[in-house]
Homo-oligomer: A and B are copies of this chain.
């Protein structure tokens, strides 16, 4: 089927190829004309503007937005007047589910359907088979389902229910991911500090074959250690892009106790610093009451 693809970054470009390979007609737009041209060489029709993109779609039009979350609102604002009742907007980036609910409500005013699709699997997934969690209007879902079915891995998509449920699932998925990654990291930290001379790549390899903790993340650990046996080249600075925090804020909303996800987020923040004010206060206190020496700057 024909789909307008808006956003050809790391994820969008790979998705475009994936769609094309599965026989879909892709009309592509990006602020970067080179990316549009490049996807053109793979068979996509290009558009120099959102208006052109819309003009090249058949009704009901399907516009798939795959842009960084800070640009979603401006894309939708420009797109909405170009669309008609019955058209379908898919937003498959990492938006907060409350934003998706809001956008759904706004587009509903114009009779435009809105599907919020959480996408997992990273760049490889977008290219060769992603994992989708989709929420929103069921009428639109039955129309758009082939796009998700064809670009996902087998059994790799789920229509989860009403608006927001797709991004809610993706948010929680990422929260779990934070916790799993931290657990794995902590385990290797204990190995690294032990007196044993473990070959970390081999450890990850054996843990990926038959153990309880075998997982795609452990496969990626194995791959990372195969490139840099002790990770000497990189710093342990852990940035974050929002979903872990959102999971926690949602847990607060729901009064759910999620200590493991909480710690995985807070240790990311801790990793951004080499020293902390908390530590200074505690060190100063130990000095005040116990005469324990402080380390000086």
Contacts and interface: CB of A to CB of B under 8 A. Distances in A.
B224 A185 contact: no
Nearest to A155: B209
A154 interface: yes
B235 A257 contact: no
B256 A259 contact: no
A266 interface: yes
Nearest to A186: B258
A85 B255 CA distance: 43
A280 interface: yes
Nearest to A247: B190
Contacts of A186: 175-176, 179, 251, 256-261, 278
A232 to B, nearest CB: 7
A85 B194 CA distance: 31
Contact of A263 (B184, B185, B263): B263
B277 A192 contact: yes
A295 interface: yes
Given A121-B211, A234-B284, A179 B260 contact: yes
Contacts of A233: 296-297
Interface residues of A, number: 133
A153 interface: yes
A284 B123 contact: no
Nearest to A120: B211
A56 B242 CA distance: 51
A286 B238 contact: yes
A158 B198 CA distance: 10
A194 to B, nearest CB: 6
Nearest to A251: B190
A35 interface: no
Interface in A227-256: 228, 231-239, 241, 245, 247-252, 254-256
Contacts of A280: 185, 231, 234-236
A217 B209 contact: no
A270 B274 CA distance: 10
Interface of A: 10, 120-125, 129-133, 152-158, 160-162, 164-165, 168-169, 172-194, 196-198, 202-203, 205-218, 220-221, 223-224, 228, 231-239, 241, 245, 247-252, 254-292, 294-297
17 contacts: A121-B210, A121-B211, A122-B291, A123-B289, A156-B210, A168-B194, A172-B191, A182-B183, A183-B260, A189-B258, A194-B254, A215-B215, A224-B287, A236-B280, A236-B282, A238-B279, A248-B248
